[in-house]
Structure 1
């Protein structure tokens, strides 16, 4: 088996983040996984830093402010569902066209997915701008929480076009194998968010203290600047996908193909994220302290889940490009290798969480009840981390092949038919409280991984046409 010295690893790392053009359909699979995974992992880490930074500063405001973020994020995940569904289609189709050496086709797909994203974002913005209080009320927020936090919901949903385009354009870059560009976009966005968060939350000079609303303002500005950077690269930069103003034309056949592929992706994430909304609704029954602990724990978890997501995105790109190049065996081998690396990483992280959960949660708050519930959540969910690591790669491999239908029915069975009933019965009816919800989350993710592995081995994904 090929091995690398520390010097060679460092050299490959520099190549991976530099954005130099690579061919991922030939040569060492291990090297291809490394070259794609590194910028994608860094990109996902940058995305999760958004969550960590917001919680760190907002936890200094109030418990209600933290709970507001939790309720709003559970609704924003519905935006993520559409964005991720469309982005899966973009990655699959762009990767397939690149593998076929059809860059014109890849560019056409890129333009159509941007048009679709803007259209969806406008609709969501209208709802967020006019009904933020009603949204928090439906999620179970108490009156004082709504009064303090509705501005956060209004700004974040109203400016959701920045979320949508950041996801979609980065998906285009990933599909083309330009993962480093997506990484730099997130670095820019996060740097601005870290600088602007305390300014808008606590005030500085002529800028008033907006409280929790300030976190949404800072995040939206940071993401907006990153989107401008992405568009500049697409039109004037060094990506494999190059656009001109002449390309800004609607191609109905390409758009319909994108919609067809994305429907499965949107469906699977709507199933997953809507179940998350219902879980948050169950959690709200136990008060703001429990809800705040749960929110902090999930944000901390996202920080370490994102590297696994990065590796799973690398697997999706490798599957798409290698299927386009008529190399299905290489596509499959890429998935097994990436899954192994992801499981090893997640297993290592789980040990840290199992031992140090109270200390980690206490970095964000000193409220004893919040720390206790947050630590409990972190420990129980971390117990399934090895399964998460492998499962993410397997599920995203289906998506990279354009087979977004298989993960949809897997999510439906595991989330709606298993996780939600189990969480409600154990937490409410059997009176286990938050513990029931935490166990339901972990068991559902283990179930997804097992079913995904069985179905992946059948190999039907190799024959999907996009």
Structure 2
């Protein structure tokens, strides 16, 4: 189930990475500007991820129980809720661009670049909600190949349009950083139309109509108890990222540019972990619905072992190519040196971070969203932010990089303990149910 998701995730992550590469060719100011946007854009993306987690958990369990009618209505409601909620946040964000990014520490000469990008990106975020949640409906039904094809197509369109719209091509004028956002908008519109047609007409996984308010409310009551805590947990990550971006901004534009590139590369190198976090929840939820608790346990420990080995391999590859990657994304030597420092230190914690991500996904799939939310709060605001900020006081920017590794190690230990405790509780409940 995971391999097709990896292909789709490669293309999905390519949106940000390709944007970052082409924008870096415009200069350090533009690269710093798009780096400031990452915590904000990822906040809205995280809301979609959370809604997708809730959708997947509920529909997969309904499918495991054989309740197809409720599954179709729930899928329709999930897409409608995602468009509504993301649309409201995008509207608020669009009217507060200057305020938001001044708060993040963006200097006044960067605000015009940020405005050019975000004014279009906020509008496009509504069209991202549809394929992200729609793909969760497909994965909940066991189809991980089609979502990958959809996202791969979107990524390909974005990669094709980026240089044309950023630098100009024939009659198309050069739009600079705004062209990157427009390329993203067009690709997401294509994906939205495709996934809606597929779900409503070809597969019949959602209803070919809008839900009434009572129906939407009923779907919301099924999805939101899982989706909102999951979304909240995911949205805490960019909030913590925003705090650290503000800290990094104190070291200058070069540091912000390097931090932005490092984070985009981190997202790209975590693709296997993120793919597993999408394919594992339907597996766990369906087996939970069928009372196959032992399979849940086996799947969790299998992926934990795999991820530690895989991310260690990624870490070694990043060490070996750090100089090349730094030169690829930076025109200035100062920025390149900071990118290389990031790639030498931070990847040490990628495997540990994978444990945290997959544990949270597993807990959401087990219908324990509040437990996952508590773990996210502990991870970010007990470990990650305090440790990185404290270490920056003694070791400057390098301290932030080292602090991230230390925080991931401590949180991985807590996550494994919490999962074992939660699974033990579920096993006891299952045994008690059998006795009754």
Task: Specify the alignment match of 1:26 in structure 2.
Answer: none
| Alignment partners' CA distance in 1, 2:314 and 2:285 | 29
CA shift at 1:298, angstroms?
A: 1.4
**1:133 aligned residue (86, 98, 123):** 98
Look up the SS of the partner of 1:433 in the other structure: helix
Look up the SS of the partner of 2:181 in the other structure: helix
Task: Specify the alignment match of 1:394 in structure 2.
Answer: 359
Contact 1:411 1:448 in 2 (8 A): no
Look up the SS of the partner of 1:330 in the other structure: helix
User: Could you tell which deviates more after superposition, 52-61 or 169-178?
Assistant: 169-178
**1:298 aligned residue (258, 263, 285):** 263
Q: How many residues align?
A: 427
- 1:106-121 → structure 2 map (5 Å cutoff): 106-121=71-86
**1:347 aligned residue (312, 319, 324):** 312
**Which 5+ residue runs of structure 2 have no aligned equivalent?**
431-436
Please tell me the root mean square deviation across aligned C-alpha atoms, in Å.
1.9
Task: Specify the alignment match of 1:455 in structure 2.
Answer: 418
Task: Specify the alignment match of 2:240 in structure 1.
Answer: 275
Task: Specify the alignment match of 2:185 in structure 1.
Answer: 220
Task: Specify the alignment match of 1:80 in structure 2.
Answer: 45
| Alignment partners' CA distance in 1, 2:384 and 2:32 | 23
TM-score (norm 1): 0.87
Contact 1:340 1:390 in 2 (8 A): no
| Alignment partners' CA distance in 2, 1:365 and 1:86 | 36
Contact 2:165 2:176 in 1 (8 A): yes
Normalized per residue, which structure has more helix? 2
- 1:26-45 → structure 2 map (5 Å cutoff): 36-45=1-10
Task: Specify the alignment match of 2:403 in structure 1.
Answer: 440
User: Could you tell which deviates more after superposition, 150-159 or 121-130?
Assistant: 121-130
- 1:229-308 → structure 2 map (5 Å cutoff): 229-238=194-203, 241-245=205-209, 250-308=215-273
User: Could you tell which deviates more after superposition, 129-138 or 54-63?
Assistant: 129-138
Task: Specify the alignment match of 2:143 in structure 1.
Answer: 178
Contact 1:313 1:393 in 2 (8 A): no
CA shift at 1:265, angstroms?
A: 0.7
| Alignment partners' CA distance in 1, 2:39 and 2:6 | 23
| Alignment partners' CA distance in 1, 2:237 and 2:93 | 21
Contact 1:85 1:269 in 2 (8 A): yes
**Which 5+ residue runs of structure 1 have no aligned equivalent?**
1-35
Look up the SS of the partner of 1:302 in the other structure: helix
| Alignment partners' CA distance in 1, 2:91 and 2:336 | 37
